[in-house]
Chains A and B, each alone.
Chain A
Amino acid sequence: MTDIMGYILIIIGILFDIFGCIGLVRFPDVYNRLQASTKCVTLGTILLLVGVALVSGSGPTSAKAIICAVFILITSPTAAHAIAKGAHASGVNLWENSIVDKYAEEKEN
Chain B
Amino acid sequence: MITLFYIGLFVCCFLCLYRIGRGPSAPDRTVAIDILGIVIVGFCAILGLATKKDFYLNVALAWALLSFIGTIALAKFLEGRSFDD
Contacts and interface: CB of A to CB of B under 8 A. Distances in A.
Interface string A3-32: 000010010011101101110110000100
Name A's interface SS: helix
B25 interface: yes
Nearest to B44: A68
Given A30-B27, A79-B34, A89 B80 contact: yes
Interface residues of B, number: 44
B79 A48 contact: no
A27 to B, nearest CB: 10
Contacts of A13: 42
Interface residues of A, number: 48
Interface of A: 7, 10, 13-15, 17-18, 20-22, 24-25, 30, 33-34, 37-38, 41-42, 44-45, 48-49, 52, 55-56, 59-61, 64-65, 67-68, 71-72, 75-76, 78-80, 82-83, 85-87, 89-90, 92
25 contacts: A7-B1, A18-B8, A18-B11, A21-B11, A21-B35, A25-B15, A25-B19, A30-B25, A30-B31, A48-B45, A61-B54, A71-B65, A72-B41, A72-B64, A79-B34, A83-B34, A83-B71, A83-B75, A85-B75, A86-B75, A86-B77, A87-B27, A87-B78, A89-B78, A92-B25
